[in-house]
Amino acid sequence: MTPAKNELLSFLNYKSSRLPDNTQTDIVQSLLYEIVRVKDLIRYYESIPNGGGRLGASILNELVSEAYNSLVNYDIVLINKYYDLLQNCD
């Protein structure tokens, strides 16, 4: 039996599989921060008595859900879109 060759793991060092620069990782991290921030905002809206913030919380929940899906699918165009949308949520 011969030991496995290093060539089998060469894909780990393949440069094209890496991100070309930090801009994509920066936007992903920024979107994650915005998702966390908006989730705190959702909790605030849900705490408003008599269901006064229910509509706002529902809309923000939908935005967070779609933003999360853009991350899961690694769709940079949608990641940018939802980053801009969540950034403007107050």
Stretch 30-43: mean pLDDT, rounded? 95
Stretch 76-89: mean pLDDT, rounded? 94
Give the CA angle between residues 10, 11, 12 to the nearest 5°: 90
Domain range enclosing 70: 22-87
Could you give the number of structural domains in the chain?
A: 1
The model's pTM is: 0.71
Give pLDDT tens digits for 3-16. Answer: 555 455 454 454 44
Asked if the structure places residue 12 within a domain, the reply is no
Instruction: Return d(Cα 45, Cα 78) in angstroms, integer.
Output: 25
- C-alpha distances (whole Å) from 57 to each of 4, 7, 39, 81, 90 are 54, 52, 9, 20, 11
Asked if the structure places residue 51 within a domain, the reply is yes
Asked if the structure places residue 5 within a domain, the reply is no
Residue 36 zone, left/alpha/beta (φ > 0; ψ -120 to 50; rest): alpha
Q: What's the pLDDT score for residue 4?
A: 52
Q: What is the mean pLDDT of the chain?
A: 82
